[in-house]
Structures are given as structure tokens and as C-alpha cells.
Structure 1
């Protein structure tokens, strides 16, 4: 049983983290949208960042409304919020993987013809890849929609003879349909992210060793070191979030009801740090942040 003081503290931390994520996401979208209005163009990385900003904004609002409403009183509109959360979460995973793949293709030292072709084409493909990520995320939400529909029928037919049949269907779909498909939907973009980051880090390490061998200038070495450190942090944060969401889907390791708010604080703490690192990774956003501050 979690102490009441820790529960209250976790709720406060969760609310603060949510507000930070919402403000950061709103700032990212506003700055990059203004950039698009002024210059009529966005770089591929900025396209991904503005999509991530929208995704994180929707994710956090859906999380707050769902947690403070559904946790006490389930209703049809709040099941819709859970679908919005699932869609935003899946879209964020794909966008993070797309960002890692973009940097990998553009910055890695691989000279294979396929990589050379991708390096030439990837900038033009980014808008279509973002749209494709959204469509794939929509498909992965279908199991959640089926599950929510069964849950609504169970609530509507409470104390009905048909209720036990629906409950049995719900348990079967949870075990053999909903959870496996949701984990596969998360694992595919995460594996893409993992491969991209590992290839990029290996390429940067190789380049860094070559720079050491040929006594390259200190400023270049420092820039390379900063890039490696940033990639490592990006890798740790994204992997941590994937593992946290995976554990919450499995849901058999800990008592989710007792530790609900503590788990939410940990989950969105990782998102908050990840969102901050993404905000500081864009020169346009860093410049806007310096002006505002």
C-alpha cells in the first residue's frame, strides 16, 4: 500500500510535468508555425518536431482529462480520450523513430548505394513519411477501439446474463489480441529507432577515432563529443519510455491501482525530459526561447 503522502506528492509532480509538456509542445508548434508563415518552408527536422509537438500536446491533454475523470467515473467520452492517447502515443513513437532514421541516413558514414540514394531522397520523403506514420498509428488504434467497445457493452449490460459472456470475450481479447498487437505496434518503430541510433553512434565513434588519429582541432573534437553525448541521452530517454509503456501494458509486475499516480509521475517525467531535449535540439527553437527569456 502506497503512503498517502507519496500519492499526493506524485499527483503534484504529475500535474507540474503535464503543464511543462503542454507549454513546451505549444511553444514548439507556435514557433515553427510562425517560421513556416514567414519563410513559407520548414526543414525536414522542423516538420518532424512540429508533428511531435502536436502529438505531445494531444497526448498530455488526453492523459490529464482521462486520469482525473475516468479514474473515478468511466464514461463513453473518456474512452474516446483513451483512443486519442493511444493514437498520440503511437504517433510519437513513429516520429521519434523517423527523426533517428533521418539523422542516421544524413550523418552516418555508410557508403552503400541504397544509403546514398536515401541520403539524396530523404528530405523530400519526410512529409510523406509523417503522413504514413499517422496512418499506421491510426491502424494500431483499432484493437483499442474494439476493446473499448466491449468494455462499454459490459458497463451497459451490468447484471445481465450476457455480461459474463462479454467479460470472457474481453479477457480473451486482452490476452490474445489487444496486448500482443499493441506491443507489436510499439516494438516496430522502436526497433527502427534502435537500429538507427546504434548505426549513428557507431559511425560517430568511428569518425571521432579518426579525428583523434589525425590530431583534428579541439573545437571539432568538442562538437563531436557533444553530438555523441546528445545521442546517448536521446537513446536512454526513448528506451526508458518504451520500457515504461511496455511494463504498463503487461501490468502484472506491480499493483497498478495502488501505485497509479507514482507510475504516472515517472512516465511523464521521462516524456518531460525528452520533450525538453527535443526543444533544445532545434536552433530555431533555442533562438526563440532565448528571445522570450
Structure 2
């Protein structure tokens, strides 16, 4: 890989890292300060805040891995350090996906309207359902980390055999087992992807049903319920497609054990993976009224102007 290509990938990774850090730190500061002042926080703000915290860790790990591959590829890193990084990455990656899925389910149960008894039962207990989903996501994230223990054991055996030059049939079998376990680890993220898709479909169906009712009653289609449906659908759709894009990049990164991809292929997938924690947080800010209002006020203050209609608010 040429020097120019390395610098291009380094520029892209640093740019996405800076963008992701700015938006996620902004979310944590705004919701965190509001939490401290009012001594309480809504369930949606709690999910968004923890989602931003997990993505901050994700971005640091992705940046470190990109810099390691581009600038420090000739240096040897301690196996224990790499395993610690893998543990942090696996936990925060799985947890952030579940947090975003819980947010989509929360919007779906709060906004969508169906007369099915099961949906009504879930809708009446939306807070309890989402909290149990959060606990389940946390438990599954820990389970995903625990599954790495067997993978680490096989890795140590392979390293010792490789260093001694003792490449036997048993070594090849262990190597194949290690590759299969590593790739199958990506399937832990399949369940939240399916749940997210279900939320997306339910919101679309609810919006269609609501629109038909408005047309039959000859009511304006710009009522608050319709607007809430549209905002929630935009949030869930953006999350779903960004998650799908991220999941494909994550699969390609894992499948390089089978395909023996080049360093450039690995860098492309890792830089692509950085789009998800950066871009989806931007969409969260635009879709949340409190975060969006604070962001606009911050821009007006930075530009040296007051927001129109807010003269008395900022005057002593």
C-alpha cells in the first residue's frame, strides 16, 4: 500500500473520529447536565446518553486500530493488550447496538397504534419492556465477551505451535476451529438487527393506517400524530440502514480470516465501520428536540448572534 493511500485512510479515520467524538460528547454533556440539574432523566434520554458513551469508547478503539495498521504495523503488540482491547470492543459494540435497538422499540411502542392485544400489552408497559430489553442486552453483551475466552485459549495454543514450528494436523484443525468461532461471533448482533427491522415495519404500518384514517375523515395530514410517526420512522430507518451497513463492514472484517484480505481491505471496512457511531449520533441530535435546540443555540452563540426571539432569555 502506497504512502499516499495510507495518509488518505488516516485522514478519513481521524475526520470520522473527530466528528463522532464531537456529537457524542455533546449528547453526553447536554443530557448529563440536565440530569444533574433536575435530578431526573427520561428513559429515552438515559438510553441516548449511554449510547453516546459506548460510541465514544468504540471510536477510540477504531482509531487506535486504524493508526496501528497504518503507522505502527511493524511494531509487535503484547497479546494481553490486544485481548483487553478485543474485550472492550466486543462489549461496547454489542451493547451500543442493543441500546440503539431499545431506542427504536421505545419509539415504536410510544407512537405506533395497533389494536392487537399483545401490542397493547407491550404499549401499556413500554417502560418495563424497554428496561428488560436493556438488561437483556447487557446480559448478552457479557455473554458475547465470555465467548471470547474459548477463542483466546485456542489462540494461545496456535501461537505456541506456530512459534515452535510444529504444524500438525491437530494444529490445522484448531486453526479452522478458531476461524469459525471468530466469524460466528458476529451472529450475536443478528437478534437486535431483527428486532430493529420489526420496529421499522410496525411504524411503517402504523403510519399507513393513520394516514388512511385521516384521509377518510378528511383531516389534515400534518397533525401531531402524523409528524411523530414520520420523525420516529426517520430515526428507525436511519438506524437500521446504518446498522446494516455497519454489520456488513463488521462481517467483512471478520471474514478476512477466510479470504485473507489485504491491509487495504481491512482499512476500508474499519473506516466504513466508523460511519455508524458518528453519523447515527448526528441523526439523534436532529431528531431530538432538546438536543437540536441546544445545538442551534450553541451555534448562534458561537457566531456572536442571539437566537431570534431569545433576547430576554440571554439578557441579564
Confirm or deny a common fold (TM above 0.5). yes
Report the Cα distance in structure 1 between the residues aligned to 2:200 and 2:19, rounded to whole angstroms. Answer: 27
Deviation of 1:242 after TM superposition, in Å, equals: 2.1
Pairing of 1:262-273 with structure 2 (within 5 A): 262-273=268-279
Task: Name the residue aligned to 2:218.
Answer: 215
CA contact (8 A) 1:201 1:231 kept: no
Pairing of 1:85-164 with structure 2 (within 5 A): 85-152=89-156, 154-155=158-159, 159-160=163-164
Deviation of 1:166 after TM superposition, in Å, equals: 5.5
Task: Name the residue aligned to 1:187.
Answer: 190
Report the Cα distance in structure 1 between the residues aligned to 2:120 and 2:197, rounded to whole angstroms. Answer: 21
The answer to whether residue 266 in structure 2 is matched with residue 260 in structure 1 is: yes
Structure 1 segments unaligned to the other structure (5+ residues): none
Structure 2 segments unaligned to the other structure (5+ residues): 300-316
Deviation of 1:185 after TM superposition, in Å, equals: 0.6
CA change 1:265–1:67 in 2 (3 A) is closer
Report the Cα distance in structure 2 between the residues aligned to 1:68 and 1:148, rounded to whole angstroms. Answer: 24
CA change 1:152–1:276 in 2 (3 A) is farther
Q: Which has the larger radius of gyration?
A: 2
Deviation of 1:186 after TM superposition, in Å, equals: 0.9
> TM-score by structure 1 length?
0.86
Root-mean-square deviation (Å)? 2.7
CA contact (8 A) 1:59 1:89 kept: yes
Report the Cα distance in structure 1 between the residues aligned to 2:212 and 2:132, rounded to whole angstroms. Answer: 36
Question: 268, 279, 284: which is aligned to 2:285?
Answer: 279
CA contact (8 A) 2:252 2:269 kept: no
Pairing of 1:199-210 with structure 2 (within 5 A): 199-210=202-213
CA change 1:203–1:50 in 2 (3 A) is same
Report the Cα distance in structure 1 between the residues aligned to 2:234 and 2:163, rounded to whole angstroms. Answer: 58
Report the Cα distance in structure 2 between the residues aligned to 1:278 and 1:254, rounded to whole angstroms. Answer: 37
CA change 1:4–1:209 in 2 (3 A) is farther
Task: Name the residue aligned to 2:32.
Answer: 33
CA change 1:37–1:56 in 2 (3 A) is same
Deviation of 1:90 after TM superposition, in Å, equals: 0.6
1:208-248 Cα offsets, whole Å, 9 max, x none, are: 23323433225328725555444433332222222222232
Return the structure number with greater relative CO, CA threshold 8 A, min gap 6: 1
Task: Name the residue aligned to 2:302.
Answer: none
Deviation of 1:34 after TM superposition, in Å, equals: 1.2
Report the Cα distance in structure 1 between the residues aligned to 2:234 and 2:130, rounded to whole angstroms. Answer: 26
